[in-house]
Amino acid sequence: MTTHTGWNGRHLEDFTVGDRYLHALGRTVNSTDNSWFTLLTQNTAPLHFDHRYAAATPFGRPLVNSCLTLAIVTGQSVADVSQNVLANLAWDEVRLPHPVFEGDTLYSESEVLAVRPSASRPEAGVVTVRTTGRNQDGIPVITFRRTLLVYRRGHGPGTRPPVPDDRSPHGHAQR
């Protein structure tokens, strides 16, 4: 039996300007997601959680909280962009070109815009990406630029402790 490690994300050296990542997971946003997120963040706009109120607006139904849309689309990008993040530095140019409604499914992709070593942290570098979230019909619902500090390969805290090898007499992985 062979043990395989899963995807551990990109390090600074793995990013190339112009590369595009189609993020693997889609996410359908339901009414409970929208209500809980809106109330958790103390957003009192009834457009997000009061269906009767929302029915009287030009949209005719609740809008998904735009901060939830930002959170979901950012989360979808983590495996490809920020699995090995030291810190998020900025979200810029956030645009919401089309509303997101309860029941919509979000998909996303990111393009690498810039990569450079950090001037103050030799163990990391700065990566900037443009991320686009689309609904199930392919319509862009959010775009933003995100800048983050990413560890170089061989730096950072790592993601998991060594896995014991049951074949060794003391349960430790043999080296």
Q: What is the pLDDT of residue 84?
A: 92
CA atoms within 13 A on the CB side of 128: 10
* Token pair of 29 as six digits: 């946003």
**Can you tell me the distance from the alpha carbon of 121 to that of 32, in angstroms, rounded to the nearest whole number?**
41
Q: What is the pLDDT of residue 8?
A: 84
Q: What is the pLDDT of residue 175?
A: 46
- CATH architecture for the domain at 12-151: Roll (3.10)
* Token pair of 107 as six digits: 């998909």
- Per-residue b/e over 87-105, b at no fewer than 16 CB within 10 Å? eeeeeeeeebeebbbbebe
Judge whether 54 and 46 are in contact, CB under 8 Å: yes
pLDDT for 107-155, tens place per residue? Answer: 999 999 999 999 999 999 999 999 999 999 999 999 999 999 999 988 8
To the nearest whole number, what is the mean pLDDT of the chain?
A: 90
Domain map (residue ranges) of the chain: 12-151
Judge whether 141 and 64 are in contact, CB under 8 Å: no
Q: What is the pLDDT of residue 123?
A: 93
**Can you tell me the distance from the alpha carbon of 83 to that of 74, in angstroms, rounded to the nearest whole number?**
11
pLDDT for 1-37, tens place per residue? Answer: 776 676 788 999 999 999 999 999 999 999 999 999 9
